[in-house]
Amino acid sequence: MQKKLSLYCPLVIMIVISSSCANKTESPSNLELLSAIENAFVDIATKAKPAIVGIFAGHTNRELNRAGSGFFYRGDGHILTNDHIVRGADYYRVRLLDGTELDAKLVGADIITDIAVLKVNREEVFPTLPLANSEKVKVGQFAVAIGNPFQLEYSVTTGVVSGKGRSVPLGLQFIRHQNFIQTDAWIHTGSSGGPLLNIYGEVIGINALIRKVENTPAPVRAGAGFAIPSNMVNSIGDQLIAHGKIIRGYLGIRMREVQDGIRVTFVRSDTPAYRAGMRRNDVIVEYNGEKIRKSVDLMMLIAESQVGKKAVIKILRSGKDRTLNVIIDEIPPELAGIPYEDDSVSWKTLGLAVRKLEKHDFERYTYLTEEDSGVVVERVKIDAPGYNAKIPRGSLILKVNGKEIPDVAALEAILQLEQEAEELEVEIKSSFGVEQVTVNLPKE
């Protein structure tokens, strides 16, 4: 046996030496390596550009006073971009790589995640960009940003992913989801809405904002760039295309991170948290069985909860464990940064803004079924008759004074007829079940 092994040893050594020499001979030079990397970036940009668009937003007088970027999410003409590019505008125009300009319509926008969807139409299918799984993005990997900084169309910059899960103080009055991918790929305000790509040409995020270096001159907006992760983009984009809006959960607290979890610094009265017994200085440690250490994680879990569904929240109070069962509400529009105007009779009479019942309501409001009929309360004005009668936002108005309410027009008609009444009997359905409430109307 030893003899056979000794015969094989020289052969093995020769093969190893031969293989080593071959690898040494075939290894590329530094210039070849740089050329390969360069060609890879060129290839990414060449393939991605046809799916990227310039976006111009303005008012009906056709004054296009805001510019940004976007990219085709679906071949039928759906475009993903930032909410801050389209917000407040009523006219949108999209420019393609070949210079073609198309009018676009707003499908839906979400100020909390800063994501919006536009739609353009033509007979041919549009080229699209695939979305990567942002959970698999690693710090240090290459990143490619493409957009329209300073209206210099289709500018390409490269860098790396500098960080994940970033939060950036914005000084906004409404809640803003913060779970950004940070990159040093140079971007500018005009690049907002454009894609941040990996080496495979997949979208890992939408470029959303820049945090410039302190004392940098005002016109210069270069600095650390932040992108909305592609997984969030995918989820929000699909919901906006399907429903035109995002319905989110709401707890009703302010918070800050501490060593043990999330400390509650303020609890709004008449909110899910307050009704469940949550109080200031409670420390939230678990939400539906998931341990919580970051406030952004808790915000997202609450926002993604179904309205009307029970959330089990574990807290520490004075060092002792407690469990609270909280029925989640829908976030008030004012906290979502959504401006509101309403000239309807229901708003003027009851302080209630209502809309027709949609299919997606059955998915988000757990107390509603496909057999239900009525109108959904979208907003409740503080100190108005509907508010004083404790009609909650998200509830379904079934009847008024015994008359069924199949749609908004029926409600408006009944309120017109009952203008001289001192009170109304309103039947509603909410997370508290079906109940009859009396709405006292003010006397003029």
**pLDDT (0 to 100) of residue 219:** 46
Residue 281 sits in the same domain as residue 320? yes
Kind and range of the H or E element at 417? helix 408-417
Residue 143 sits in the same domain as residue 232? yes
* Total domain count, the chain: 4
For residue 297, pLDDT beyond 90: no
Alpha-carbon torsion angle 56, 60, 61, 66, nearest 10: -20
Residue 101 sits in the same domain as residue 165? no
- Domain membership flag for residue 353: yes
- Tell me the range of 3-12, 119-128, 140-149, 372-381 where mean pLDDT is highest: 119-128
For residue 81, the cross-strand partners are 116
For residue 400, pLDDT beyond 90: yes
- Domain membership flag for residue 37: no
For residue 306, pLDDT beyond 90: no
DSSP result, 334-376: TTTT-------HHHHHHSEEEEE--TTHHHHBTT--TT--SEE
Per-residue model confidence as pLDDT tens digits over 153-194: 788 989 999 999 887 765 544 556 778 899 988 877 678 899
- Domain membership flag for residue 8: no
Which residues are known to be catalytic?
A: 84, 114, 192
CATH of residue 204's domain is 2.40.10.10
Residue 181 sits in the same domain as residue 212? yes
Residue 162 sits in the same domain as residue 232? yes
**pLDDT (0 to 100) of residue 139:** 95
Average of per-residue pLDDT across 127-152: 89
- Domain membership flag for residue 32: no
371 contacts: CB under 8 Å, gap ≥ 6: none
User: End of a domain among 96, 119, 142?
Assistant: 119
Average of per-residue pLDDT across 415-440: 90
CATH of residue 421's domain is 2.30.42.10
| pLDDT level of residue 130 (50, 70, 90 thresholds) | very high
Asked whether 94 and 104 are in contact (CB, 8 A), the reply is yes
- Domain membership flag for residue 259: yes
**pLDDT (0 to 100) of residue 116:** 94
Residue 94 sits in the same domain as residue 69? yes
User: End of a domain among 243, 263, 291?
Assistant: 243
**pLDDT (0 to 100) of residue 79:** 97
**CA atoms of 189 and 68, how far apart (whole Å):** 7
In the block, which residue shows the tokens 């309120």? 415
Least confident of 4-8, 158-162, 188-192, 299-303: 4-8
pLDDT higher for 31 or 189?
31
- Rounded to the nearest integer, the mean pLDDT of the chain is 84
Residue 199 sits in the same domain as residue 266? no
Per-residue model confidence as pLDDT tens digits over 63-104: 667 889 999 999 999 999 999 889 878 889 999 999 999 999
Average of per-residue pLDDT across 293-302: 86
- Domain membership flag for residue 216: yes
- Domain membership flag for residue 2: no
Residue 372 sits in the same domain as residue 422? yes
**pLDDT (0 to 100) of residue 313:** 96
Residue 264 sits in the same domain as residue 187? no
Average of per-residue pLDDT across 138-159: 85
In the block, which residue shows the tokens 């440690």? 285
Strand bridging mode 253-257 / 283-287: unpaired
Per the structure, the complete domain to which residue 373 belongs is given by 345-440
Residue 432 sits in the same domain as residue 374? yes
Q: Which of 307, 308, 375 is nearest to 347 (CA)?
A: 375
The alpha-helical segments, DSSP class H, found in 218-311 are 230-243, 272-275, 295-303
Using the 8-state DSSP alphabet, how is residue 331 labeled? P
The alpha-helical segments, DSSP class H, found in 196-271 are 230-243
**CA atoms of 246 and 285, how far apart (whole Å):** 27
Rounded to two decimals, the pTM is: 0.67
Residue 387 sits in the same domain as residue 357? yes
User: End of a domain among 295, 330, 365?
Assistant: 330
For residue 263, pLDDT beyond 70: yes
Asked whether 251 and 127 are in contact (CB, 8 A), the reply is no
pLDDT higher for 363 or 28?
28
What's the one-letter identity of residue 13?
I
Residue 277 sits in the same domain as residue 311? yes
Kind and range of the H or E element at 408? helix 408-417
For residue 3, pLDDT beyond 80: no
Asked whether 248 and 332 are in contact (CB, 8 A), the reply is no
For residue 383, pLDDT beyond 60: yes
Average of per-residue pLDDT across 338-357: 83
Count helices and strands (H / E) in the chain. Answer: 10, 26
Measure CA 13 to chain center: 60
Q: Which of 83, 85, 80 is nearest to 65 (CA)?
A: 85
For residue 53, pLDDT beyond 90: yes
- Token pair for 295: 């406030």
Average of per-residue pLDDT across 30-44: 90
For residue 240, pLDDT beyond 70: yes
- Domain membership flag for residue 435: yes
442 contacts: CB under 8 Å, gap ≥ 6: 385
Cβ atoms within 10 A of the Cβ of 408, count? 18
**CA atoms of 110 and 333, how far apart (whole Å):** 11
Strands (E), 111-258: 115-119, 142-147, 155-166, 180-183, 195-197, 203-212, 223-229, 249-250, 253-257
- Token pair for 352: 């209630």
pLDDT higher for 191 or 107?
107
